Structure 1
Amino acid sequence: MDVFSDVISTVRAGRAKFTRSRLTGRWGYAFGPYPGAGFHVVLEGNCWLISPCGSPIALGAGDVVFLPHGAVHGMSDSPDRTIAELPQAPETGPPDDEPAPGQTQLLCGAYRLERGQAHPFLHSLPEVIHLPARLGDHSALRTAVDLLGADLIDARPGAAAALPALMDLLLVYLLRAWLDEEASRHRPGEGWCVALTDPVIATALQHIHRTPAHPWTVQELGAAVGLSKTAFARRFTSLVGQAPMSYLTWWRLSTGARLLRHGQAPLAAIARQVGYTSEFAFANAFKRVFGTAPGKFRQQQRHNPDRS
């Protein structure tokens, strides 16, 4: 699995929640905050995103909005509303009006995350990512939006299986499209957008992700990519935002959480698999990041299967 796929897997820690709504007349709803990443797709019509960090954003059919930090925001028929005056959208989503001329049709949803799960790449994203239908050549993203719209408007046999898979594809293509747009601006410098495409740092990240149990050192990682210890540490920290060993620790614990959630292996075996010499050392490190012991974390996941 490549590093970007691993990034995606941390967003998909829980099954996506989503609703489709048809809205007409005067309407508006507030969303968030929530522990995870939210999204809206305009399937038909026009509306406005009442942004938490700037002016309202006009949205049209085919536009996609991604809120990677679950920020409070609003969706409305008009830009003259504030988030504070909008009613909170119910858990089941905005009401679904009868079909009518001039309606707006929305797909709204969220991926919920547990504490400590979000990949650092997601922390580096802006509060709001808006990808207009007219922006660039993102044919795969547009296709995912069209397929979602078709299945939601005219549910066919197998829709219950198709929709979650299409939501996952939407997420992949959305983040790819954002990376492409960032790269097209030719911004020099730092950050995960650069790290994922930098041949040296991307290779080091692949080593960490593929073999987290290996007793990596900064010197060994640097040698693996042809840099001195000092030069590698400086370049890695500049682009990733964490020192190499800090990121390695985070990835080991994130991998451990995934193994706890989806597998039955004993804690000692998981500890070894992610590079800890003892169950005790793994448990202490895990609790510092996730706020709970590994055994209790596993029990919580089993009692709430919607998170897995």
Structure 2
Amino acid sequence: MRERTRGIRVCAAATISAVDVISEAVEDLRIGQVYGRRAEVAASFAGRFVSCEGVGFHVMLRGEGWLISGSAPPARMRAGDIALIPHGAEHGFAPRPSTLAELPPAPMGLQDPPPERLPVEMICGIYRLERGGSVHHFLRSLPDVVLVSPDYDRDARLRVLIDLLVEDLDRPREGTLVTRPALVDLMLVHTLRLWSGDSAETWDALGDPGIAAALQEIHDSPQAPWTVERLGRAAGMSRTAFTRRFTTLVGTPPMTYLIGRRLQQGAQLLRESDAPISAIARQVGYATEFAFAGAFRREFGIPPGRFRTLSEPLL
């Protein structure tokens, strides 16, 4: 398996992906807030984007420049390229190779359109997990910044998707609360598919049959009364060996991961359904609403009821 390094990773377009883990990673983001914008800047533009808990991307529509990371050499970004920021690392854009320390903070939020067409144009989208939660472990296993160069002749659908997102950003209309998250979801999925390419580029944990089996059990039935021993048996390992292997490959101990999956599913249900909190608690594996609420507050910083009332999308 190819060794991973943090920073910018550049790849050509590919075709086969770890669809299940990609679907789950993007689905987890839906408890966050979606933002997007189109920007035109001068050829001399340079800016640094601060780190955040979330996942974002930039698509270069016109012009070129350099994508800057804090942990890898600058990478040239040309028209058509897509930069994915899979776990919200600080990054920047500049007209020439530089370091993050040399870049001023990039302006955030909506900007007035320029009076004339400028040479560099891009669209940006992001899911921010502003009310707790965390980015999926698969996304955290990726480099700080991933740069892909799609073959639009082979994948004309991606060009159509980008055009749809540009139109949605330029002319928000009734239904934007639905279309914007859907288009951002699709952009993330397409970019992750291009990045993954083959199984050697997917989450390392899925390359271990025992750990993959335990993860499958957790994801299929997070509400089950799992213990480390039971998960170890599913993986075909002793308790000690399983805990060590799982923690190394996934990045967190088994029970911590299980709790995170339960609370993530609970947050999605709070956002997407009208079910009583007591019913959601049972559905994700908590015997009482009180136990669920306590764990939820520790994870997200607010109680479930408050989270539900604050979960209106912001575009």
* TM-score, L = length of structure 1: 0.80
- Describe the shift of the 1:216–1:181 C-alpha distance in structure 2 as closer, same or farther (beyond 3 A): same
Q: Which moved more, 1:44-53 or 1:268-277?
A: 44-53
Q: Post-superposition shift, 1:273? A: 0.9
Q: Write the deviation string for residues 78-124 of structure 1: whole angstroms up to 9, x where unpaired.
A: 33585554353230158556346xx2221122111132232222333
Q: Which moved more, 1:106-115 or 1:4-13?
A: 4-13
Instruction: Say which SS state the counterpart of residue 12 (structure 1) adopts.
Output: helix
Q: Tell me what 2:262 maps to.
A: 252
Q: Tell me what 1:169 maps to.
A: 186
Q: Post-superposition shift, 1:164? A: 4.4
Q: How does 1:1-308 map to 2 (within 5 A)?
A: 2-79=20-97, 84-86=102-104, 88-92=106-110, 95-96=113-114, 98-99=116-117, 103-113=119-129, 114-133=131-150, 143-144=157-158, 146-151=159-164, 164-180=181-197, 183=200, 193-301=203-311, 305-306=312-313
Instruction: Say which SS state the counterpart of residue 289 (structure 1) adopts.
Output: helix
- Describe the shift of the 1:52–1:226 C-alpha distance in structure 2 as closer, same or farther (beyond 3 A): closer
Letter aligned with residue 243 of structure 1: P
Q: 1 CA distance for matches of 2:308 and 2:180?
A: 27
Instruction: Say which SS state the counterpart of residue 16 (structure 1) adopts.
Output: strand
Aligned Cα root-mean-square deviation (Å): 3.3
Paired residues, what number?
292
Q: 2 CA distance for matches of 1:79 and 1:252?
A: 43
Q: 1 CA distance for matches of 2:276 and 2:224?
A: 20
Query: Contact 1:201 / 1:236 at 8 angstroms: preserved in 2?
Result: yes
- Describe the shift of the 1:22–1:164 C-alpha distance in structure 2 as closer, same or farther (beyond 3 A): same
Q: 2 CA distance for matches of 1:16 and 1:143?
A: 22
- Describe the shift of the 1:93–1:131 C-alpha distance in structure 2 as closer, same or farther (beyond 3 A): farther
Which structure has more relative contact order (CA 8 Å, sep 6+)? It is 2
Q: Tell me what 1:187 maps to.
A: none
Identity %: 43
Q: Post-superposition shift, 1:64? A: 1.3
* TM-score, L = length of structure 2: 0.78
Query: Contact 2:31 / 2:271 at 8 angstroms: preserved in 1?
Result: no
